[in-house]
């Protein structure tokens, strides 16, 4: 295959990895496709909209991840791009298209460090041969050596490594070849140390991703790990990818006995993203997230709404006196609206719902939890 043919295959295969910045416009957000599956934002050679040119270096893979359609025993069309091919094509896209950066991942070619050497070679070509100083997101391959990880971080704007599951027990259900502590936890901790505040690479952002529903984890376990990822590792974002039934091995929990309705998989992912916002932008701790008796988020209701309805003593909130943290606990009020409320209060009291700058169903929801004095 020529470069463009390989890029078509590898760009499409990159759809399973979400650990990069999501788009902000309607044409670059992921969309629901046929049979309940998501179509992820990628820029393909034949056109399309995306924030990043997103591709794999190779879909050849030595690993056995039970959830992954590209695992070693799968019968898929395999191909590999050379570092110079990726760098050259990206620069062509960068000049011709509205693409501001590159997200580069890969299957495991031979071993982790051999793959990292090729991934880093792409970034090195872009930085030094083509003088590209823009956004580059590099995937850290599980099991990569400390020196390979540091090399990637020195070249990248952002790096990510998928944590995959909350803990070793759930991880071992999905892979017999990878070691959770050595191949996942060790690199994540190193990424955190190298990019910590005051360190040489503090400008580099770190993200990770859970594969939700492939194993038999509970939401409570994911949420506890999220708390550690944000509080101790200081990562920028946590992403979630709902396991899509039919892509993995028939003997993993996601295929056998866990959330058999496809729509439930996607709603569970959606509730975890809502939880992530509560923890990252609304001031909730992981211990405050409301769960059902089984340790999972309710699929039928927004977790912020569930918290409000189970804490009637917190309401009503006084719209002219409440602090930022109290206002963020009001269903229907987000960070932007709360900031607007605080700014308006410096000028005059808010005397009626119309002063909030919101309307419709959202306004009706807010009115049930606040008082205007």
> Is the predicted pLDDT of residue 47 greater than 70, yes or no?
no
pTM over 0.85: yes
Burial of 177 from C-beta contacts in 10 A (0-12 / 13-18 / 19+): middle
Query: Could you tell me if 68 and 125 lie in one domain?
Result: yes
Handedness of CA 13, 16, 18, 23 (dihedral sign): positive
Query: Could you tell me if 217 and 329 lie in one domain?
Result: no
- pLDDT tens profile 132-185: 999 899 999 999 999 999 999 999 999 999 999 999 999 999 999 999 999 999
CB 345 within 8 Å of CB 322: no
pLDDT for 261 equals 67
Query: Could you tell me if 282 and 148 lie in one domain?
Result: yes
Phi, psi values for residue 104, rounded to 5°: -125, 120
Name the 3-class secondary structure at 101: strand
For residue 126, the 8-state DSSP code is: I
20 alpha carbon, distance to own chain's centre: 6
pLDDT for 257 equals 65
CB 81 within 8 Å of CB 10: yes
Query: Could you tell me if 289 and 267 lie in one domain?
Result: yes
Query: Could you tell me if 134 and 178 lie in one domain?
Result: yes
- pLDDT tens profile 305-331: 999 999 999 999 999 999 999 999 999
CATH code where residue 266 lies: 3.20.20.70
Using 50, 70 and 90 to split pLDDT, how confident is the model at 17?
low
Query: What is the DSSP annotation of 238-296?
Result: EEEEE--TTSS-TTSHHHHTS--SHHHHHHHHHHHHHHHHHHHHS---GGGS---TTS-
Q: Which of 271, 304, 337 is the last residue of a domain?
A: 304
From 219, 213, 305, 226, select the one nearest 258 (Cα to Cα): 213
Phi, psi values for residue 27, rounded to 5°: -85, -5
Query: Could you tell me if 190 and 251 lie in one domain?
Result: yes
Query: Could you tell me if 67 and 171 lie in one domain?
Result: yes
Query: Could you tell me if 283 and 326 lie in one domain?
Result: no
Beta strands 135-139; 38-39: pairing state: unpaired
Alpha-carbon distance 268 to 217, whole Å? 12
Q: Which of 279, 304, 329 is the last residue of a domain?
A: 304
CB atoms near residue 263 (< 10 Å): 10
Query: What is the DSSP annotation of 9-67?
Result: HHHHHGGG---SPPPSSGGGS-EE-GGG-EE----BTTB---SEEEEESB-------TT
Structural domain of residue 41, as residue ranges?
Answer: 3-304
Alpha-carbon distance 363 to 49, whole Å? 33
289 alpha carbon, distance to own chain's centre: 19
Alpha-carbon distance 205 to 201, whole Å? 9
Query: What is the DSSP annotation of 191-231?
Result: HHHHTSTTSTTTTSEEEEEEEETSS---HHHHHHHHHHHHH
Query: Could you tell me if 318 and 297 lie in one domain?
Result: no
- pLDDT tens profile 243-278: 888 888 998 998 876 555 666 878 899 999 999 999
Query: Could you tell me if 176 and 274 lie in one domain?
Result: yes
For residues 48-67, average pLDDT: 81
> Is the predicted pLDDT of residue 236 greater than 80, yes or no?
yes
Residue 214 neighbours by CB under 8 Å, 6+ apart: 66, 67, 165, 174, 243, 248, 252, 253, 254
Residue 348 neighbours by CB under 8 Å, 6+ apart: none
Query: Could you tell me if 329 and 268 lie in one domain?
Result: no
Using 50, 70 and 90 to split pLDDT, how confident is the model at 20?
very low
Q: Which of 256, 273, 304 is the last residue of a domain?
A: 304
Q: How many domains does the chain have?
A: 2
Using 50, 70 and 90 to split pLDDT, how confident is the model at 302?
very high
> Is the predicted pLDDT of residue 84 greater than 90, yes or no?
yes
CATH code where residue 363 lies: 1.10.150
CB 249 within 8 Å of CB 66: yes
Query: Could you tell me if 279 and 353 lie in one domain?
Result: no
């Amino acid at each position: 295959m020529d470069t463009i043919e390989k890029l078509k295959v590898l760009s499409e295969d990159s759809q399973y990895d979400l650990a990069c910045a999501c788009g902000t416009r309607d044409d670059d957000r992921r969309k629901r496709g046929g049979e309940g599956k998501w179509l992820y934002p990628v820029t393909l050679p034949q056109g399309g909209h995306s924030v990043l040119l997103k591709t794999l270096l190779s879909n050849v893979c030595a690993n056995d991840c039970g959830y992954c359609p590209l695992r070693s025993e799968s019968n898929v069309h395999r191909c590999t791009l050379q570092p110079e091919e990726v760098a050259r094509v990206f620069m062509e896209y960068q000049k011709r298209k509205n693409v501001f950066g590159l997200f580069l991942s890969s299957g495991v070619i031979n071993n982790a460090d051999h793959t990292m050497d090729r991934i880093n070679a792409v970034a090195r070509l872009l930085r030094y041969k083509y003088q590209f100083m823009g956004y580059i997101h590099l995937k850290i391959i599980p099991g990569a050596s400390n020196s390979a990880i540091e090399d990637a971080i020195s070249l990248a704007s952002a790096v990510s490594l998928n944590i995959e599951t909350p803990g070793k027990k759930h991880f071992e259900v999905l892979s017999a070849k990878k070691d959770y502590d050595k191949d996942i936890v060790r690199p994540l901790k190193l990424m955190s140390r190298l990019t910590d505040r005051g360190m040489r690479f503090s400008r580099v952002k770190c993200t990770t991703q859970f594969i939700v529903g492939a194993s038999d984890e509970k939401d409570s376990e994911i949420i506890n790990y999220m708390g550690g990822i944000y509080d101790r590792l200081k990562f920028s974002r946590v992403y979630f990818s709902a396991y899509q039934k039919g892509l993995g091995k028939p003997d993993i929990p996601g295929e056998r006995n866990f959330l058999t309705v496809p729509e439930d998989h996607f709603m569970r992912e959606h509730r975890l993203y809502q939880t992530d916002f509560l923890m990252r932008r609304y001031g909730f701790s992981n211990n405050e997230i409301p769960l059902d008796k089984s340790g999972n988020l309710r699929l039928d209701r927004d977790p912020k709404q569930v918290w409000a309805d189970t804490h009637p003593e917190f309401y009503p909130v006084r719209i002219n006196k409440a602090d930022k943290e109290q206002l963020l606990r009001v269903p229907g009020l987000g960070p932007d609206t709360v900031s607007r409320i605080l700014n308006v209060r410096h000028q005059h009291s808010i005397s009626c719902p119309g002063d909030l700058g919101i309307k419709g169903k959202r306004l009706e929801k807010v009115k049930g939890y606040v008082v205007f004095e």
